[in-house]
Structure formats: C-alpha cells, structure tokens
Amino acid sequence: MIVNRQFRLKRRPHGRVERADFDFLESPVPEPAEGQAVARNLYLSLDPTNRIWMTDMEQYMPPVALGEVMRGGGIGRIVASRHPGYKEGDLVSGLLGWQDYCLIGAPGELLPPAVIPDGLPIPLPTLMGACGMTGLTAYFGLTVIGEPKPGETVVVSAAAGAVGSVVGQVAKILGARVVGIAGGRQKCELLVKEFGFDAAVDYKAPDFLAQLAAATPKGVDVNFENVGGTIMEAVVARMNLYSRMPLCGMISTYNEDTAPRYDLRPFLMKRIRLQGFIITDFKDRFIEGSMQLAQWHMEGRLKSRETVVEGLDRAPEALNMLFDGTNIGKLVVRI
Ligand code: NDP
C-alpha cells in the first residue's frame, strides 16, 4: 500500500510552532472520485502565513480547523485524474497541504490548484520563490502600491528573505535607490554584493537607527513593510511627505498572542499612503506578473535564492526558520 503522510493540526500553537502541535498520521493514498484528481506533492512552500493560519483570529482565509490537514502551498504532479481540468503528468501549483498526496476537488477545497507550464528553464523551487507567489507579492505590492519613481528611496524589511530580496531587485530595475533591512552582517553583505542593493542596515546592531539614518539621507519614499514592530516604527519616522507604504506582512507579530498598538499620527502629519494587500488581490494579473519575473530571471537581472529543507517530516521545525531568520530567500521543503 502506498502511504500518504499528513500533518494535521492538533492544537493551536502559542509562540513558536512545536511538533506536538500536530499529529503526523499515515493513511492510504485517496482514490479520486468523478470530478477529482490526486497530486503527488513534490515541494512544500513554507510561508509566514502558515503561522497565521494556525491562529484562530480574523484573517483573509478561515484558520485551519483542529484536525484538518495543515494548509500550505506547494508544487506537485498529477498521478491520477477523473477531473476534466487535470491530466496525469500535469504539474500543479496551489494549496496542496502538508502531506505527500493531495486530493484535488475534495469537498471544502478553498482554491483549485493551477496547472503550470512544464519544461520551463526555471527550477521548481524558483517557481515557488522569485518567479512564483512570493515574487508576485513583491512585484505587485511594490509596483501597484509602492509606485517607486526613479531616484526615490525604497526601504524593504526582511530584505534577505523571499519577498524582500525580490522587492529590492525590482526596485533597482525601476531605478530607485534601495535600502534593505536584515538581521546580521552576513545577510547585509549578501544584499549589497549578491542582490545589488545600494545599502543594507542591520537591525540587530546596536547602532541600527544611526545606520538607517545614514542609509536614507533623503528620507524614505516607499517603505515595503514585511516585519512590523519597532523596525517599522523606525522606518516610518524617516518617511517623507506623500510617501507610500505597502503593508505586506508583520512577521514580528505572528508568534504573539496579543496585537501590537501603533502611533498613526505620522501617517496623518506626513500624508503617508498605507495600504495592506494580499497577493490574491492581484490574481487577474498573475500571468502578466509571472511572465515579467521569468523574463528578468532568465536575463540574469532577477537573482533567486532558495533554502531547501529535505523531508516532509521536518516541516514544523523548518517553519521556525522563518522566525529565527535562518532562511535566505525562499524556504521550501522537498518532499
Ligand atoms: P522571508 O523569507 O522574508 O522570511 C522571514 C524573514 O523575516 C526571516 O528570514 C527573518 O530575517 C525576518 N524576521 C523574522 N522574525 C523577525 C522579527 N521579529 N524581526 C525582524 N525580522 C524578522 O519570508 P517571506 O518572504 O515569505 O515573507 C516576508 C513577509 O511577507 C512576511 O511578513 C509575510 O507574512 C509577508 N507575505 C505577505 C504576502 C501577502 O500576500 N501579503 C505574501 C507572502 C508573504 P532576518 O534574519 O533578517 O531577521
């Protein structure tokens, strides 16, 4: 019998995720009924939003219910199909879950996985990172909400991560001056040397505020916000009149049980345009965005880094890498 291993959410974590928050169960691979298909999952995308989905709070999708397979993005290959939209051998991308096999078309499915082109000269982890959902998050959040103009200063936090590293590179392509915020000297060096940022600021250094001021002598025109908390407040303090702030994420808060409180007065005084967004807001433009990112990547103008963890069974501990900062670029699990 071929076995399907699944992580099912057993209890809601407080703080960091623990393995004991899940049951790791084995069951037979499902047989597709009429209108269903089965995908063999190949890669799992680990995202800060996995942690949000584990929490019972108001959010943009229902939280994962206790006992349910942990929700997660992934890439897989169709191994059996009785669904008109999928044929055996298709490569699919979508919410395939923390499991070896995904039954597509099952009751309660939130979004059907999309068939993606096979045979592209782009590795699968990159199709989940710089040329996938995280790349699209960076591209649309920056271009549609941030609207950087040539010569303006763009600051991005969690800059050495999946979204942040693409934000900085796209902002450079658009002619902006780019400053990344990341934890530690090594990551800051990477931002400048590998990703071509103009400057990098280490938020863990004791002189973080002085570094930020030195790197943004003309203030900040676009703050692409990934972190929240005191880092966000430090950047907001340097934002210019009529500047823009795409609010993409607030990872510093996801392991906290209580919501932070912020001073909104600078947004009024400096007429800062703050807009939160979720990548699915741009779903009608995914093809256009993907083509642009793939083109830049193939031209060598958009570099991609991935951190690949081996083995589905390591998913819960690997998720914590996003909160420890031990990932560089897109974090994926090879199943
Ligand atoms: P990353 O690859 O950027 O990984 C997370 C990084 O965040 C870590 O590497 C770490 O880098 C940094 N970090 C973690 N905790 C803290 C903290 N307390 N203070 C400062 N930095 C911290 O993840 P993603 O690129 O996938 O996601 C980045 C952000 O984008 C998240 O907030 C996520 O929720 C959001 N997002 C939003 C989407 C949307 O549709 N709105 C879609 C995808 C992502 P370091 O070593 O520098 O600390």
- pLDDT tens-digit series, residues 82-126: 999 999 999 999 999 999 999 999 999 999 999 998 888 999 999
- 298 part of a folded domain: no
Examine the domain organization and report whether 104 and 14 are in the same domain. Answer: yes
For residue 118, what pLDDT is reported? 86
Ligand 1 surroundings by CB, under 6 angstroms: 47-49, 134, 137, 158, 160-164, 182-183, 187, 226-227, 231, 248-252, 277-279, 322-323, 325, 327, 331
How far lies 130's CA from each of 54, 72, 168, 206, 298, in Å? 25, 18, 12, 31, 11
Task: Please indicate whether residue 2 or residue 321 has the higher confidence score (pLDDT).
Answer: 321
For residue 190, what pLDDT is reported? 98
Examine the domain organization and report whether 102 and 138 are in the same domain. Answer: no
- 90 part of a folded domain: yes
For residue 127, what pLDDT is reported? 96
Ligand 1 mutation pick, 251, 255, 278, 280, max ligand atoms within 8 A of CB: 251
Nearest CA to ligand 1 atom 33: 249
* pLDDT tens for each residue of 22-62: 999 999 999 999 999 999 999 999 999 999 999 999 999 99
Rounded to the nearest 5 percent, the helix, strand and coil shares of the chain are 30, 25, 40
Examine the domain organization and report whether 144 and 273 are in the same domain. Answer: yes
**Domain C-terminal end among 249, 265, 281:** 281
For residue 265, what pLDDT is reported? 98
Range of the domain at 25: 3-125+305-334
- 54 part of a folded domain: yes
Nearest CA to ligand 1 atom 1: 161
Structural domains counted in the chain: 2
The CA 92 to ligand 1 mean position distance, Å, reads 25
Ligand 1 mutation pick, 131, 133, 163, 306, max ligand atoms within 8 A of CB: 163
- 289 part of a folded domain: no
- Could you give the CA distance from residue 9 to residue 21 in angstroms, rounded to a whole number? 6
The CA 226 to ligand 1 mean position distance, Å, reads 6
In which band, very low, low, confident or very high, does the pLDDT at 283 lie, cut at 50, 70 and 90?
very high
How far lies 329's CA from each of 127, 157, 179, 188, 303, in Å? 13, 13, 17, 13, 10
Nearest CA to ligand 1 atom 36: 249
Examine the domain organization and report whether 85 and 144 are in the same domain. Answer: no
For residue 169, what pLDDT is reported? 98
What is the mean pLDDT of the segment spanning 127-143? Answer: 97
For residue 256, what pLDDT is reported? 94
Give me the CATH number covering residue 255.
Answer: 3.40.50.720
Examine the domain organization and report whether 225 and 315 are in the same domain. Answer: no
Ligand 1 mutation pick, 51, 134, 226, 285, max ligand atoms within 8 A of CB: 226
Q: For the CA atoms of the chain, what is the radius of gyration?
A: 20
Examine the domain organization and report whether 146 and 263 are in the same domain. Answer: yes
Query: Is pLDDT of 206 > 90?
Result: yes
**Domain C-terminal end among 265, 281, 297:** 281
- 88 part of a folded domain: yes
Examine the domain organization and report whether 193 and 100 are in the same domain. Answer: no
- Could you give the CA distance from residue 76 to residue 59 in angstroms, rounded to a whole number? 27
Examine the domain organization and report whether 170 and 227 are in the same domain. Answer: yes
Nearest CA to ligand 1 atom 9: 325
Examine the domain organization and report whether 320 and 199 are in the same domain. Answer: no
- Could you give the CA distance from residue 149 to residue 268 in angstroms, rounded to a whole number? 22
Query: Is pLDDT of 312 > 90?
Result: yes
For residue 119, what pLDDT is reported? 87
Q: Pick the closest to residue 155 from 174, 139, 142 (CA basis).
A: 142
- 95 part of a folded domain: yes
Side-chain half-sphere exposure of 45, counting CA atoms within 13 A: 28
- 288 part of a folded domain: no
Examine the domain organization and report whether 57 and 151 are in the same domain. Answer: no
Examine the domain organization and report whether 24 and 71 are in the same domain. Answer: yes
* pLDDT tens for each residue of 83-94: 999 999 999 999
In which band, very low, low, confident or very high, does the pLDDT at 175 lie, cut at 50, 70 and 90?
very high
For residue 1, what pLDDT is reported? 80
Query: Is pLDDT of 11 > 90?
Result: yes
Give me the CATH number covering residue 24.
Answer: 3.90.180.10
Examine the domain organization and report whether 7 and 68 are in the same domain. Answer: yes
- 293 part of a folded domain: no
